[in-house]
Amino acid sequence: MPARPLRDETLHLIDAVRTALAQRSDVDERRLFGSHAFFVDGKLCIAVKGEELLVRLPPGRHAEFQEMQNTRELSPEGKMQGYFWVEPNGYATRAQWNFWLHEALAYNPQAKATPPRKRAAANPPPAAPSISKSKRHSIFDDDTP
C-alpha cells in the first residue's frame, strides 16, 4: 500500500526543522513510527508528525516540561521520560520555536544513543553439518586394541 502524501503543514514543519539544522553536518533524517525524525550525532533529537514536534529533552527535567502548556508526554505511563509532543501553539512564536530547538540540541550530547539493530545477513553462512552422536570422535577416545 503506498504511503499517503504528507499535508502541506507537515511538509512546512519538516522544512523548518531541516532549515534550523542545516548548518550541522551530523544530521540524519529517517522515517520513524509514522514520523519524520531528525537524528543528531546518531541520536533522535526532533521529529515531526502531522503538525506536532516530538522533542527529546533531559529526563531530569521531565516534571518541568510536563507542566508546560501545549506539551504532552510521548508515553503517559512514564516509560519514555524526556520525550514530549509540542502542539502548534507551543512553537508558534520565534521565541517558542527557538526554545524547543535549543533545549533538544543542548541535551543531545548527553542523550544515550540507541544501539544499532543487527540486520539479518542477506546470505547467511551455511550451518555447520550436524554430526550424530554415534559418529563423533574425540581425541580422548582410545581406538587402539
- Which residue has better confidence, 139 or 128? 128
What is the end-to-end Cα distance of the chain in Å, rounded?
71
Model confidence at 140, pLDDT cuts 50, 70, 90, reads very low
- Which residue has better confidence, 118 or 135? 118
pLDDT in tens, 37-86: 999 999 999 999 999 999 999 999 989 998 999 999 998 777 788 999 99
Question: 82-110: buried (b, 16+ CB within 10 Å) or exposed (e) per residue?
Answer: bbbbbeeebbeeeeebebbbebbbebbee
Instruction: Return the pLDDT at 138.
Output: 47
Instruction: Report CA-CA distances (Å) from 57 to 6, 33, 44, 86, 137.
Output: 26, 19, 10, 12, 60
Instruction: Return the pLDDT at 3.
Output: 65
Secondary structure of 33-71 in HEC code, one letter for each residue: CCEEEEEECCEEEEEEECCEEEEECCHHHHHHHHCCCCE
Model confidence at 143, pLDDT cuts 50, 70, 90, reads low
Asked if 74 and 54 count as a contact pair (C-beta separation under 8 A), the reply is yes
Asked if 16 and 26 count as a contact pair (C-beta separation under 8 A), the reply is no
Instruction: Return the pLDDT at 129.
Output: 55
Report pTM: 0.75
Instruction: Return the pLDDT at 128.
Output: 56
Q: Residue 139 above 50 pLDDT?
A: no
pLDDT in tens, 70-127: 999 998 777 788 999 999 999 999 999 999 999 999 999 999 887 666 665 555 555 5
Closest to 55 measured CA to CA, from 17, 27, 112: 17
